[in-house]
Amino acid sequence: MAKPKDTKLSLNDFGKPCDRLAHMNPENLMPMSRPLDCREPEWSPLKEETKEKYMASLDDTLVLNIPRPQSKREEQELVRKFLSGVEKLFQKNNNWTFLQPLVSTVEHCAKCQTCSDSCHIYESSGKHDMYRPTYRSEIFRRIYQDYIHPSGRYHKTWKNGGEIKLSWLTVARLGELSYRCNICRRCAQSCPIGADNSVVAREIRKVFSQELGIHTVELHDNGSMLQLKVGYSTGMNPEIVKDNIEFIDEDMSEKTGMKLETPWDKKGADILLIHNAGEIMAWPENIGAFTAIFQSAGLNWTMSSEALGYDNINYGLFYDDVQFARVVIKHFQCAQKLGVRKIVFGECGHATKAAMIIADRILTGDLNIPRESCFPLLKQLVEGGSLKLDPSSNNFPVTLHDPCNLVRLMGIVQPQRDVIKKICPKFREMTPHGVNNYCCGGGSGFAIHSGHNFEEWRFKISGRKKLSQILNAFSDCIEPETKKYVCAPCSNCKGQIRDILGHYNLWNDAGITYGGLVELIVNAMTDVKPNYIDWDEII
Amino acid sequence: MGPILHLLTYVCMIVFVVAVVHKFNEYNKMPMHLRWELYPVAHEGKKASYGGSYFEEVDWWEKERTVDMGTEMKQMSQEILFLAAVKEHNPKLWLRTFPFHFGMYSLIGFLMLLIAGALLGVAGVDMSGGGFGTVVGTLTAIAGFAGAVLGAIGALGLIARRLFDEDLKDFTKPSDIFNLVFLLSVFLLMAATGASDPYFTGLREYVQSIITFNINYVPSNPAAVGAIALASLVVAYIPLTHMAHFVVKYFTYHNIRWDDRPNVPGKDPMGDQIAEVLQYEITWAASHINPNGTKKTWAEAATENPEELKESK
């Protein structure tokens, strides 16, 4: 079947001055199943003042907010700094962190488009050319080959297929386009050569952050900077966090009938538990469930009240290696001070990967403290008999979302399944699942981005495939009378799934809600009050 | 004619070896990078079947890590010989690229058999007198024809796809078409050589002359001369282009996708390497990293408070 004309976009058009380079026509979006088998509404337009202030001509939305240059000099300065940053990406001193993954991709991607069909964003958009994993990489590659690589100037057309017109608009659009990728690396998984076009998206973000000082407010100013300053990216300092957790303990004690008490700053504890502190505000029942489980199992554990020690978030993972390293070092310094045997990370995919995989070649000596995901431990507790469980309490359809960071990128696939199969008699898998899963659409920090109309993009495009998987998993019981649960054991994914279900009104129209893994465990515990998952509380 | 042809072959062989070694060294000398693996990791043994890792175990750092080279070799051989990833993720492409690659593998086998035949010739074995010589001669003929035909079919299919497929057209560069046409001409000349000399006797004698430095030898078949000249040039050309992915794939798989070696807490096996890279000087210019343009190392940047940098600006 021929592609609709409005899903085509030539590489040579990327720098073309126009009001909007690409429009994701709702008619072309990937069809959904019942009850969402109807046409999507048009996009909410960006405000005129937004378009005047920022480069907003990529597609229907905006997230990076690159100010429009006010003079020719500013335009040239943007291009100059960008090229300077790209050059640094290929220098071992500046970019030892990702040099080999980047160079191997830039030099050897065959542009065979095998990766395109693996990308949920490309598929959901109705296969718009601009959202191919190779599209942004090819623009980047041609800029590098033409303007940085020593031999580029001699064979632009021969080797690169034509010169990319390098202007401030090309640069700014490329920066914005780097935020149309969830960096879930599903594309890399399908690449026969082992190229990784998602790493190019991340490296472009790095150029903007590390060289030009341009980043999204959510990831940088209100994210890693605030976290380094105060201790937590919402701005809550240690005292406020302790107060909140105390309140959660009281609330959840009432809910479970247990006397819950979070231990703080216990020197020499076996386990330092670090949550994604976003749970404190958004999902206190997740925090309470961990406390109930750890307390019931008699674990020797603690939380840290030191700044950053109670919040495992590390947004640097998505856009900036230096910010990443700064945050991760602080996390481990907190653990070091307490002298714990190991760190266990709560239900947060990016934070677990950041600390266990990415930081593995940054931390040495005393800072190289043993750490693990909570899933193997939860499996041990559930299977080892430390908890008294009655699966019939979870006698409703449950499906499991695989957070990319934990599953495809860490290989933690089975423990959470073993738990869920033990306590949820009506469990069913999504298709596909495990390491072949699809991203929730909130990956690489998108779940916390809602400015302008970006939320719509998260719903219509990046979250579309996951939502389709959820609806398909429950297709045999899609009527709202049957209450259903999407287990999303990752804070970022949970936020995205909450937002999509809410946007499409799927609690009312299909009876679908969401939550973490520990909530299901506590809901099945026989020595706590029933109905930890309270369907009546869901709005 | 003979000396020129031999000189071309010798030079192209040297270019190939130097370029491959250079490419390998270029990647091998790159500094350690951060872990960036992708599951399934082939050497995870039974866990590889579903993409699991040692992180699925409680206290994983206290357990002995097993690396199953059997599963890794199995997956590598499926990937190299049958292009398993393309078959799984892009079957349409596989129908074209598999014969193309397998044609090349067959021609590599053909070259090995030519060398074997040439050595037998040097040893005085009669290639048409029955016995081992005949077996080698027959296998040479099969490998040569199979390689030429499969390679030509694959190359034609790939050229057509590059030129006419809507998904690829925009990404296709003149050099992509040139590369494929270049290889196609080698496959076709090889087929033409075999058509008039089914046991590739002329090529075997040429290989023998290369080994014995008999530089005045020239095959009587013009197609064979053309095949020798173009094949020599292709051998030199491939490692100078992105087709050198046969070298780089080693790194993308072993050093990136499957590199799950842990810096085990308490043992710190990578401590020295990490200490080295953290001493690299960075020049990133953003205000939260280097507002004053002063020299600093990664270790210094990573332990600075960006709020204090703001104040010092």
Per-residue pLDDT of B216-265, as tens digits, reads: 999 999 999 999 999 999 999 999 998 889 999 999 999 999 999 999 98
Q: Domains in chain A: how many in total?
A: 3
Separation of first and last alpha carbons in chain B = 72
**What pLDDT does residue B311 have?**
59
Q: How far apart are the first and last CA of chain A?
A: 42
Phi then psi dihedrals of residue A386, to 5 deg = -70, -25
- pLDDT at residue B312 tops 60: no
Report the residue of chain A nearest B272, measured CA to CA. A364
Please tell me the distance from the alpha carbon of residue B268 to that of residue A364, in angstroms, as a whole number.
6
Q: Which residues of B touch A134 (CB under 8 A)?
A: 171
Residues A157, A80 share a domain: yes
Q: Note whether A192 contacts B175, CB cutoff 8 Å.
A: no
Give per-residue burial for A434-450: e unless 16+ CB within 10 Å, then b: bbbbbbbbbbbbbbbbe
CATH of B2-257, one of 3.40.50.300, 1.20.950.20, 1.10.3720.10, 3.60.10.10: 1.20.950.20
Q: Is the pLDDT of residue B313 over 60?
A: no
Q: How far is residue A337's CA from residue A312's CA, in Å, rounded to a whole number?
A: 16
* Boundary (domain end) residue, out of A163, A181, A211: A211
The pLDDT tens digits along chain A (539 residues) read 677 888 999 999 999 999 999 999 999 999 999 899 888 899 999 999 999 999 999 999 999 999 999 999 999 999 999 999 999 999 999 999 999 999 999 999 999 999 999 999 999 999 999 999 999 999 999 999 989 988 766 666 666 666 678 999 999 999 999 999 999 999 999 999 999 999 999 999 999 999 999 999 999 999 999 999 988 877 788 899 999 999 999 999 999 999 999 999 999 999 999 999 999 999 999 999 999 999 999 999 999 999 999 999 999 999 999 999 999 999 999 999 999 999 999 999 999 999 999 999 999 999 999 999 999 999 999 999 999 999 999 999 999 999 999 999 999 999 999 999 999 999 999 999 999 999 999 999 999 999 999 999 999 999 999 999 999 999 999 999 999 999 999 999 999 999 999 999 999 999 999 999 999 999 999 999 999 999 887 76
Taking 90 as the threshold, does the pLDDT of residue B98 lie above it?
A: yes
Contact by Cβ (8 Å): A163, A142: yes
- Per 3-state DSSP, chain A is made up of helix, strand and coil in percentages (nearest 5) of 50, 5, 40
A307 & A409 share domain: no
Query: Does one domain contain both A138 and A48?
Result: yes
Residue A162's pLDDT is what?
64
Tell me what ipTM this predicted complex has: 0.95
CA distance A399 to A445: 23
Facing B50 at nearest CB: one of A193, A379, A414: A414
Residues A325 and A304 in one domain: yes
CATH 1.20.950.20 domain locations along chain B: 2-257
pLDDT score, position B239 = 94
DSSP three-state, residue A339 = coil
Please give the residue of chain B at the shortest CA–CA distance from A225. Answer: B306
Residue B29 confidence (pLDDT) above 60: yes
DSSP H helix total and E strand total for chain B: 13, 2
B 180-219 → A contacts, CB under 8 A: none
Interface residue B132 vs chain A (CB under 8 A): no
Average pLDDT over residues B123-135: 82
B34 vs A98: CB contact, 8 Å cut-off?
yes
Are A313 and A410 in the same domain? no
> What is residue A220's three-state secondary structure?
helix
- CA pair distance A13, A435, nearest whole angstrom: 36
Please, which residues have CB within 8 angstroms of residue B61's CB and are 6 or more apart in sequence?
Answer: A370, B262, B264, B265, B266
Residue B292 CA to residue B275 CA, distance in Å, equals: 25
Q: Does B284 touch chain A (CB under 8 A)?
A: yes
Q: Say yes or no: A418 and A353 in one domain.
A: no
Mean pLDDT of chain B: 93
End residue of a domain, out of A185, A211, A237 = A211
The answer to whether residues A451 and A511 belong to one domain is yes
Q: What is the enclosing helix (H) or strand (E) of A272?
A: strand A271-274
Question: How close A140 gets to chain B, by Cα (Å)?
Answer: 13
Specify whether A152 is located in the same domain as A249.
no
HSE-up (13 A, CA, CB side) for residue A480: 8
> Domain boundary at A379, A407, A437, which?
A379
Domain membership of residue A450 as a residue range: 387-537
Residue A159 is predicted with a pLDDT of 61
pLDDT of B77 reads 93
Cα torsion A236, A242, A243, A248: sign: positive
